[in-house]
Amino acid sequence: MHGSHDSGGHAGDQELFSPRGFAFLQCSLSGKCSGRGAIVPLLPENVQTLCDANYVNNGEIAAAKQDLTFLIYPGGDMSQFMVYDQTQIRCHLSGAARLITLNSIARPVVLQVSGAEPTEVTVNGPSLQKRSTAAEFDASITGWRFDPASRFVFIKFPHVGGLAEVRC
């Protein structure tokens, strides 16, 4: 992301918040972010540390698990983010489709992608099942749903490790 010291045509000072029950640092987009997109890693609520639970060694402190959730605002240029464990995620527009690549260890993944409702969502080729409601999506291990109010596509899958390509 670029700071306000960059010149550009973006109005800036837009505060972004997660569309569903996740806590993360409030961001302010300014400068040339318009059209470039953004990827924001999210932590589930009530997580108190990113350290491994064995390292903390205190059952009263809620440690993060291996699950990953990303809030993605696709842009014309490629956006990318690297997590502390060398996980890499990238997103760019390919025509009308959003193309997301993830290189990571095996772990559950949730993507929250801004934009129009896709006709389908695929992970490494096969289509994921569309879920009708938030409750059905939350109860499933894999699938996707579109929330017309927030204009986000929610995508969930158990990543098997290595490189994964998501199209929506």
Look at residues 145, 71, 52 and name the one whose alpha carbon lies nearest to residue 109: 71
Quick one: which H or E segment has residue 55?
A: helix 53-56
**Statement: the pTM of the whole predicted model exceeds 0.85:** no
86 — pLDDT class (breaks 50, 70, 90): confident
| Per-domain boundaries in the chain | 35-44+66-167
Q: CA–CA separation, 66 vs 64, rounded Å?
A: 7
Domain 35-44+66-167: give its CATH superfamily. Answer: Golgi alpha-mannosidase II (2.60.40.1180)
Chain segment 16-67, per-residue pLDDT in tens: 444 444 443 334 333 334 456 888 888 766 778 777 788 888 888 887 777 8
